[in-house]
Structure 1
Amino acid sequence: MTTLEPVAEIAVLIYPGAQLGAVHGMTDLLSVANLMAQRRYGENAPALRFSQWRPGEDGQRLERVLDSHPGRAGEPDFIVLPPAVVAPITAEDAAPLALWLRRKHDAGATLASVCAGAFLLGETGLLENRSATTHWFYANDFAERFPSARMEIDKLVIDDGDLITAGGIMAWTDLGLKLVDRLMGPTTMLDTARFLLVDPPGREQRHYSVFSPKLRHGDEAILRVQHWLQATGAREATLAAMSDKAGLEPRTFLRRFRKATGLKPTEYCQHLRVGKARETLEATTRSVEQIAWDVGYEDPGAFRKIFIKVTGLSPRDYRHRFGLARLHGAAEPADA
């Protein structure tokens, strides 16, 4: 461990149910960053202080249980809330931790969450009217529990200055590298990424996320349409057909559909069709033109534009990254 004067302390909070793999992984990443800085800059290298904190026996007072610079005074400059192992922390379990986090934030600390750690951050009240992300799997639950937060689920990392949220369960690597970049500079960040063989920050969560429609909104007419769209692949999804299925006038249907699902009907259908296309791209070597037709698009060019809009990747790039046929050595179609 480095003995250089630290430029900042990054604390990882071990809350009830926190994923210890991410806790130790983040600690290792910061240790590697210090090593990379020392090797490149020698005695003039910047260094990070990293620590792990957890509640004491009384469940209230928090204490350092690991410290790269033991014996030094000071408070954490950054506090990282790692993913949860199984499910997000409950409001009851989060209450004492949220108070501690709020006090640290009021004193100048930056708070950062990974995956379901955003639920603990949300309990502080600090995400009200602020942009945030979490794992796509928890997007609807998060929006219901913290409706005043501005959810941007497509983004893997949102750096909002004093609050940083990262989406995927492995996004602690992206968050860690972003902190290294902020505190030690891009050269050390890239050296750390190369050493760990991980991609530098810049990925998007929508490359990986699966469309998870809201179904627990309580509007039976709209839910009936959603079930019909799912069963038919949204192939006959005209406004007239959907309104008729709901038993509503078109204007009323449009208003209630968006209120219930958070999407316009056209956007909802695009997500459904792209979801079907993704499955085919992953599992087969069918051409993009064939897949476009299968999911209801007569114009392959229009399909490509919508696919890029939803996933952030072209169909060819998506297959290149995620296709099972490619992993097994099958030839990729020339027009994919």
Structure 2
Amino acid sequence: MNKTSYTVTVLGFDQALASAITGALDVFAFAGVSWQRIHQLPTTPFFKVQLAAAHGLPFLCSNQVTLTPNIAIEDVSHTDILLIPTIGGNIDDVLNDMHSQLIHIKRLQKMGADIGANCTGTFLLAESGLLDNRVATTHWGYADKFSAMYPRVNLQPEKMVTEDDAVFCAGGGMAWIDLSILLIERYCGHQVASDTAKSHVLDVSRTTQTIYASSRQRRAHGDNDIVAVQSYLETQLGTKLTLSDVAAKHNMTERTLLRRFKHACGMTPWQYLQSLRIEHARKLLETTHTPLEILVNSVGYEDMSSFTRLFKKLTGMSPSQYRAKFKRVV
């Protein structure tokens, strides 16, 4: 980007998450400012920020705080970036209430704006159709609902941030931080983004949501027989199992079990069991001082190296790194 000042517009609406709005506005507004103030250097604000809403009217956020916009979304004729914050209330109600406003998301995208959405705000972006045939992410806890509602979207819920042809999505909760810093880097370069993150004491090294996700979310598929298999696997974390054992216990052939399980959960029973074991290992790393060798055996693994490779693949860090980051201090 070769301009020196860019406009960021955040779209506000009833039941939006206030922190995802005000936090993003703060981070962009202080790019080129906070680091410079700390080091007693001349400030150079890179972004003009504004809050827009339907008809320019105040709106009530999910925490019962009312925010007053700077401008009506109908009057926004240009913005470099349009951000859609988290839906903090009932998703279906907000989608219904915001249906008439989707035209402005599409209008600004056609005019060249980068469009970004955070967490469940990605539902609004998908509802507009702008995510059709594009890569996206959303809060890991709502991935099943998202996939069911928007099958044309290439959803990758393990990712913290996605970008596809200047349409950006961020994962759960506070992932607006990751998205904001990514966009600051896109417009102002790595150094400004890094300085902004450091001045706000932000951790922007996160690339995956899998360290926060629960495997037990994959139950909204409606196949009660597979739910029973899932419940059984959750009780067998330290047991040596074979596919034939699991299939026989649930009165299925191995082929039928594989087919139905993969259709329902998007993975094989073995992959699901692996994710459960890694999830349990995470909890033990967070809450106990159990030596790693004993912990590995308690979740059904005998080989430390293979467990470590799998743990790192699924969480993005080694078991020791995970314990250091998430161990609860009592």
Q: What is the TM-score when the length of structure 1 is the normalising length?
A: 0.85
1:263 counterpart letter in structure 2: M
Measured after TM superposition, the shift of residue 99 of structure 1 is 1.9
Task: Name 2:55's counterpart in structure 1.
Answer: 56
1:7 corresponds to 2:2: no
1:262 corresponds to 2:266: yes
Task: Name 2:183's counterpart in structure 1.
Answer: 179
Q: Match of 1:52, SS?
A: strand
Task: Name 1:334's counterpart in structure 2.
Answer: none
Percent of aligned positions that are identical: 32
Q: Quick check: 149-158 or 210-219, which moved more?
A: 210-219
Change (3 A) 1:201 1:164: farther
Task: Name 2:102's counterpart in structure 1.
Answer: 98
Q: Is the 8 A contact 2:133 2:153 kept in 1?
A: yes
1:289 counterpart letter in structure 2: E
1:240 corresponds to 2:244: yes
Change (3 A) 1:305 1:167: same
Distance 2:8 2:146 in 1: 26
The one-character-per-residue Cα deviations of 1:139-179 (angstroms, maximum 9, x if unpaired) are 11111111221111121111223210011211111111111
Q: Is the 8 A contact 2:11 2:52 kept in 1?
A: yes
Q: Is the 8 A contact 2:162 2:169 kept in 1?
A: yes
Task: Name 1:150's counterpart in structure 2.
Answer: 154
Out of 54, 77, 80, the residue aligned to residue 77 of structure 1 is: 80
Q: Is the 8 A contact 1:89 1:120 kept in 2?
A: no
Change (3 A) 1:37 1:183: farther
Q: Is the 8 A contact 1:114 1:172 kept in 2?
A: yes
Task: Name 2:22's counterpart in structure 1.
Answer: 24
Change (3 A) 1:279 1:38: closer
Q: How does 1:203-282 map to 2 (within 5 A)?
A: 203-233=207-237, 235-282=239-286
Distance 1:73 1:290 in 2: 59
1:123 corresponds to 2:123: no
Out of 306, 310, 322, the residue aligned to residue 318 of structure 1 is: 322
Task: Name 1:292's counterpart in structure 2.
Answer: 296
Q: Is the 8 A contact 2:51 2:70 kept in 1?
A: yes
Distance 2:13 2:300 in 1: 47
1:47 corresponds to 2:23: no
Q: Is the 8 A contact 1:30 1:50 kept in 2?
A: yes
1:80 counterpart letter in structure 2: L
Distance 1:166 1:122 in 2: 13
Change (3 A) 1:202 1:215: closer
Q: Is the 8 A contact 1:34 1:47 kept in 2?
A: yes
Distance 2:187 2:92 in 1: 29
Distance 2:250 2:223 in 1: 10
Please, which runs of 5 or more residues in structure 1 have no aligned partner? 329-336
Q: Match of 2:115, SS?
A: strand
Q: Is the 8 A contact 2:237 2:277 kept in 1?
A: yes
Distance 2:216 2:121 in 1: 20
Q: Is the 8 A contact 2:238 2:297 kept in 1?
A: no
Please, which runs of 5 or more residues in structure 2 have no aligned partner? 59-67
